[in-house]
Amino acid sequence: MDFELSAKAREYLSDLNEFMDSHVYPAEPVYDRWRAEAGPDNHDLPPVVEDLKAEARRRGLWNLFLPDVSGLSVSDYAPLAEVTGRSPGLAPQALNCSAPDTGNMEVLHMFGTQRQRERWLDPLLDGRIRSAFAMTEPDVASSDASNISTSITRDGDSYVVNGRKWWISGAADPRCEVFIVMGKSDPEGPAHRQQSMILVPRDTPGLEIVRSLPVFGYQDQEGHCELRFTDVRVPAENLISGEGEGFAIAQARLGPGRIHHCMRALGMAERALDLLVERANNRVAFGTPLAQQGMVQQQIAESRLAIEQARLLVLKTAWLIDNRGTKEARTEISAIKVAVPRVAADVLDRAIQVHGGGGVSDDFPLARMYAQARAMRIFDGPDEVHLRSVARQETRR
């Protein structure tokens, strides 16, 4: 396996690091002040992000996640995703590379009709709108997709959607104009052929955004919402790929997406380690800098070891996807979804500890990052589901 970046990726990486230093990191306090003044219930985009988007487009740092647009392999994009993870609230959006839009754009790119692409994919790629992916439900254990109870029922030239969803990321953002909804179109069919995906515009009658849910008390700008669908009627042409294709589409969506998520999480871990070391070098306790005390030195070393190991596993997974396909990488895709959030949360926890009371405050980005890393052990499938998948592959082999 060769993890050497292509010349194009090296160029992007250099440009991206310069963009982070010159524009993204200085924008963080501006973003935070705007949101604090606007209040937690305001999900508008702070204007500084539009400025970042314009600058990123000017530099050609746009839609890098999509190989057919950027010319980058999954392995090439991985270190770029890691860099954006160092500022998770700003950098992915600035590059038009933030979830759930990335996964939705991949779905429309791979499975959408020409009309669906023109209506939804083009404005998403252009950064003019945002989207959401509606799968998780409050009334069932959504870690098992076969439990999903939202119905997608054919009625003449339309489909009618009924059900409830929650933790739908991005739904509170006023720019979110369309939902990819996963539901059951054939409840009596084979387990993996019961589900379908359909496009539901935000303004469709019967679609209600009930509330935006906080994560450990934090309200993200894009929100994580509970939705209610009551006799929501959309044209039959809004169905993606065909009836019964929902599960297969979901699997195709999650492969590269897990690389993106995991590398961004490692970016958070790297920034946490930077802050840990800086704090340890500059704080003195009992007459000695923290960085010279054995317990803190162990925390620094353990963090470096864990990050390097996790990164190698993600890069191996990206290489497998590039060279052998998502199916051949399925064990590793599950493995990184377990391993990386654990590492990120552990490194962030150590950094918080070294920062003392400052670590649990909003004076540093650690507390919010920790909330994201801990939540990652649940979204896109909880650890237990992925451990089960790894174990099954191991026993079959």
Sign, CA torsion 335/345/250/108: negative
**How much of the chain exceeds pLDDT 90, in percent?**
94
In the numeric block, the tokens 């994009």 are attached to 77
Secondary structure letter of residue 5 according to DSSP: P
**Which residues are within 8 A (CB) of 278 and not within 5 positions of it... i.e. 6 or more apart?**
none
pLDDT given at position 231: 98
Q: Is the pTM of this model over 0.85?
A: yes
pLDDT at 115 over 90: yes
Residue 284 to residue 194: CA distance in whole angstroms: 61
pLDDT given at position 18: 98
Q: At 267, which amino acid appears?
A: G
In the numeric block, the tokens 């654990």 are attached to 342
**How much of the chain exceeds pLDDT 70, in percent?**
100
Secondary structure letter of residue 44 according to DSSP: P
CA atoms within 13 A on the CB side of 1: 15
pLDDT given at position 134: 97
Q: How confident is the model at residue 256 (pLDDT cuts 50, 70, 90)?
A: confident
Average pLDDT for residues 104-127, to the nearest whole number? 97
Average pLDDT for residues 109-126, to the nearest whole number? 97
Each residue of 323-333: b (16+ CB within 10 Å) or e?
A: eeebeebbbbb
Residue 255 to residue 303: CA distance in whole angstroms: 26
Query: What does 242-253 look like in DSSP terms, one character per residue?
Result: -TT-HHHHHHHH
3-state DSSP percent of the chain in helix, strand and coil, to 5: 55, 15, 25
pLDDT at 237 over 80: yes
Question: In whole angstroms, how far apart are CA 288 and each of 11, 66, 194, 282, 283?
Answer: 42, 49, 63, 10, 8
CA atoms within 13 A on the CB side of 232: 26
pLDDT at 354 over 80: yes
Helix or strand or coil: residue 356? helix
Domains and CATH numbers, the chain: 7-125 (1.10.540.10), 130-242 (2.40.110.10), 247-396 (1.20.140.10)
Quick: pLDDT tens for 121-158. Answer: 999 999 999 999 999 999 999 888 888 999 999 999 99
pLDDT given at position 225: 98
Kindly tell me the burial class for residue 238, based on how many C-beta atoms sit within 10 Å of its own C-beta (0-12, 13-18, 19 or more).
buried
pLDDT at 255 over 80: no
Average pLDDT for residues 37-51, to the nearest whole number? 96
pLDDT at 119 over 90: yes
pLDDT at 47 over 90: yes
Average pLDDT for residues 371-385, to the nearest whole number? 95
Q: What pairs with residue 158 in β-bridges?
A: 155, 235
pLDDT at 88 over 90: yes
Share the mean pLDDT of the chain. Answer: 96
Q: What pairs with residue 211 in β-bridges?
A: 226
pLDDT given at position 143: 83
